[in-house]
Structure 1
C-alpha cells in the first residue's frame, strides 16, 4: 500500500470512527424500529369506536393530535414522503399510477408498485440509506419497498399481489409473525409494514359507514396483537414502534347537482388534449396539444366552481407538488367531496382522498411507543415530512438531504 493509500485509509478510519457519530454500525445496544402504516386511517377514526389498544399505546407513548400528509394525498406519494423526508415534488413519485406522456402509457397502482424507474428517480429511501450504513432492513407490502434503488434492494421484502385480500385478519397476524422473525432470527434493524385497510373499506362503503367502523376495530385488535407479539418476542425494551398512515378519507358527494364532469364543459374539447390523467379521485393532469395550452386553460379555469385548474408554474407553492418534470403543463384538483369525471363517469367510490392536505378529512394519525419515546405525551399536529428525520435519529444513521426537520419531533424522545 503506497503512502497516499495509507493516508486515505487512516483518514477514512478517523472519519468513520464510532465516537464521531458518523454513519457506521453501532454496538448491539442500537434499538430496532418498526414503522407500521394502516392506509387511509383518518385522524379521528378512533373517536367513534372503541379502540382500547390504540388508547393504551397513547398512554404508553406518544400521540399526535393529527398528522398532515404531503400533497398529493395519494397512497404512493405520501408513503414515499415518509421514507425519504421529501415533499412530493422533490422525491418525484407524483402519483399512484406510472404514466408517460409521450407513449401515452398508464399503469394502475399495483403494477406501478413494481416499476423500478417510477420509484428510483434520484431519492434514496431510508431502507437503502440504512443498509449503506451497516444496517439490515425489511419491507412488508410497503409501497416502494420492492424495487431497487441505484442497483440496491431492500434486504428482505414482500410485495402484495394484485388480488390481495386487504381485510383478512388472520393474514394480518401471520404477517406480523413474519416480521417478528425478521427481527429476532434475521437480525433486521428496520422494517416497514403496510396494511391496506381501512382505506379499501373507506373507499367502498364511505368513511362514515358501519363497515368502516368495524374495520377500525379490526385495526385496533391488530395493534393489540402486534404489541403482544413484540413482548413475546423479547423486543419490548429494544424496539421502537411507529403507527401512522398516509392520508385520510372523505365522503364522495355522488348525488350532487353540480358534479365535476369534463364531458359536459361547453368550451372544452378532448380533441385539444395530447395526454390526460383524469378519473382518479379529485386530481387531474392534462398535456394540451402543441399550441393549445392557452385555449385549454381559458376553457377550464372557470369551467366549474368546484374545480381548481392551474398552469404548472402557478400551482400553489404551499403544496410542494408541481415543481417536477413529471408534472404536466396543466393540473387540477377539486373541492372536498367532489371527484373529477373525464370522458364518462366511471368513478363510483363512496369515499375518496387526494384532496387538499389542509382539509381536516385528509389528516391522519401518528402514534409512537418504545424505549426511546416519552410516555403519555400528546403533541400538536405536524407534517409527515418530518417523520424521516425522526426515524434516522432512532436508528442512529445520517439522513440523506431532505425537507424535514429533526427539531420538530425531537421533543417526543426521552432525554439521554
Structure 2
C-alpha cells in the first residue's frame, strides 16, 4: 500500500497551493495598480519641483554678491611661531585652515628673521638686501652715515614697491593698519588720509583695530571700500621676548589673536560678505628661548683683537661690525676673531661664526647691499652676544633673528576665500612668495620682485 507523507511547509496534504478566489485576486490587482500610479505621479511632480529649485552648496550658501571687486585682508601676528596654533584651542584659526589652505609645516621667513625685514619682504616680495630694510634698527647708510630707526618714514630707506603702493597705482583703495613700512609715502601711496593709513599707536586695543577694519566695509560708496587691508598685531612677539615661547603668557596671547580672527570673521559674516573676502593670516618669524649662560662676550676676544663698541651696529642674533679703524681691514678683523674662536678660550665662542660679508652663506641672500656691514657674525640657535657681562639686558627670555633654516624661526601662512582651495596643504615656502599671490587675488600686475608663481599655482582655484 502506498506510503503517504506530508511536506513540512505544506498544509494541504502535499498538493500545490490553491489559487486565491477570483474576487480576492481582482481586489489585489486593483490595489497594486493604484499604488503604481501614485508613485509615478509623485516622481513626476518631484522632478518638476527640483528641476526649478536652486542648487544648494552645503558649505557656503550662495547669496547675491555685495562687493563688486576682489578683496584681500592680510593679517600679521608678530612672532607667531609655527606650532603656537596647537598650544591652546584656536577654533577660529582652525576654521580658516579647514575652509582654506595652509603651509603645512610653516612659513619660512627671510634672513635676518627680524620683524621689519620680514614684514617688508611680505609686502614687496623682495629679500632684505634688495628692499633695503636689512635689520630692525641701527644699520647704517654708508653714503650718508645716517642710521635707520624704526619710526623713520623717509622713502630713501624703503626700496621696492609694497603691495599697498601697487594697489594704489592700479586705482584700488588700500587700508593699512600699523603694518611696518606702510606710513612711508611712495609713489601713488601718500599715506595722507588717516582713515586709510593708520599711524602706529601701540596703546590701541586689538579689538578696536578689528572694529576699524570692519567699519571700512560699511561705506555707502562702494568705491571707498578697500580692496586691500593690511592689519598688524604686535603679539605674541612682545610676550615672547619677555618670557620665551613656552610660558603661559604666550598661551594667553595666542588665544587673544584667535579671538581677533573670530571677531573679524563674525563681523564679515554679519555684513554678509565673509565668502567674498580673501583672508590671509601670517606671522613674520618664530621665537626661541635664550638665557645668560648662552652668551658670547666680545671682550673675551681682546687677547687677539679689541672690538670697539662704536664699530658694532648690531649684537645678536646677527653680529654686524663696521670697523672705523684705518689700520685694520675687515679681513684682518675676521681672521683675528676666528683665531680667538678656534683657540677654545672664548666662552661659547664655538657657537659664533664670523664672516666677511661677501663670504656669508649664499642661501641666506644677505650680502648684496652696502647697508649690510662688511663683517657679519651668525650665532647658533638660542645664543646671544654682548659687549661684556655688564651690558646684559635680561637673564632669560626669547628672541629671533637666527638662521631662517631653523624650525623655531618658522611662522604661519593660512588663507581662506572664494578664490582659494579648501583643505589644501602646501610645503613650506619663503614669505617673498606672498606678494605675487596677493596681486593674483586682486587681479593687478605685480611689480618686479623675487617671488614666483608657486603659491598662486598651488592654492588658487583654477578658472572654470
Query: Considering the TM-score relative to the shorter chain, is it more than 0.5?
Result: yes
After superposition, the Cα gap between the structure-2 partners of 1:61 and 1:408, relative to the gap in structure 1 and judged at 3 Å, is closer
1:34 to 34, 55, 73: 73
CA deviation string 1:252-288 (max 9, x = no partner)? 13234xx2111222312134x7632133x31121112
Alpha-carbon distance between aligned partners in 2 of 1:370 and 1:297, rounded to the nearest angstrom:
51
Structure 1, unaligned runs of 5 or more: 1-27
Aligned to 1:147: 184
1:250 to 266, 284, 288: 288
1:275 to 311, 315, 332: 311
After superposition, the Cα gap between the structure-2 partners of 1:47 and 1:237, relative to the gap in structure 1 and judged at 3 Å, is closer
TM-score of the aligned structures, taking structure 2 as reference length: 0.77
Equivalent position SS for 1:313: helix
After superposition, the Cα gap between the structure-2 partners of 1:57 and 1:101, relative to the gap in structure 1 and judged at 3 Å, is closer
Aligned to 1:383: 430
1:204 has 2:242 as partner: yes
Alpha-carbon distance between aligned partners in 1 of 2:188 and 2:264, rounded to the nearest angstrom:
33
Residue 136 of structure 1 contacts residue 187 of structure 1 at CA under 8 Å; is this kept in 2?
A: yes
Residue 262 of structure 1 contacts residue 268 of structure 1 at CA under 8 Å; is this kept in 2?
A: no
1:345 has 2:391 as partner: yes
| Cα drift, residue 353 of structure 1 | 0.1
Residue 100 of structure 2 contacts residue 417 of structure 2 at CA under 8 Å; is this kept in 1?
A: yes
Aligned to 1:403: 450
2:333 to 280, 296, 301: 296
| Cα drift, residue 160 of structure 1 | 1.7
1:309 has 2:354 as partner: yes
Residue 278 of structure 1 contacts residue 340 of structure 1 at CA under 8 Å; is this kept in 2?
A: no
CA deviation string 1:134-191 (max 9, x = no partner)? 1111110100000111474246211223xx24xx7xx211111111222342321101
Aligned to 1:179: 213
Residue 92 of structure 2 contacts residue 261 of structure 2 at CA under 8 Å; is this kept in 1?
A: yes
Aligned length, in residue pairs: 376
| Cα drift, residue 414 of structure 1 | 1.7
Alpha-carbon distance between aligned partners in 2 of 1:108 and 1:351, rounded to the nearest angstrom:
22
Between stretches 124-133 and 34-43, larger displacement belongs to: 124-133
Between stretches 282-291 and 203-212, larger displacement belongs to: 282-291
1:78 has 2:118 as partner: yes
Alpha-carbon distance between aligned partners in 1 of 2:429 and 2:419, rounded to the nearest angstrom:
19
Structure 2, unaligned runs of 5 or more: 1-66, 342-348
1:228 has 2:266 as partner: yes
Alpha-carbon distance between aligned partners in 1 of 2:456 and 2:189, rounded to the nearest angstrom:
29
Alpha-carbon distance between aligned partners in 2 of 1:295 and 1:382, rounded to the nearest angstrom:
38
Equivalent position SS for 1:270: coil
Residue 261 of structure 1 contacts residue 345 of structure 1 at CA under 8 Å; is this kept in 2?
A: no
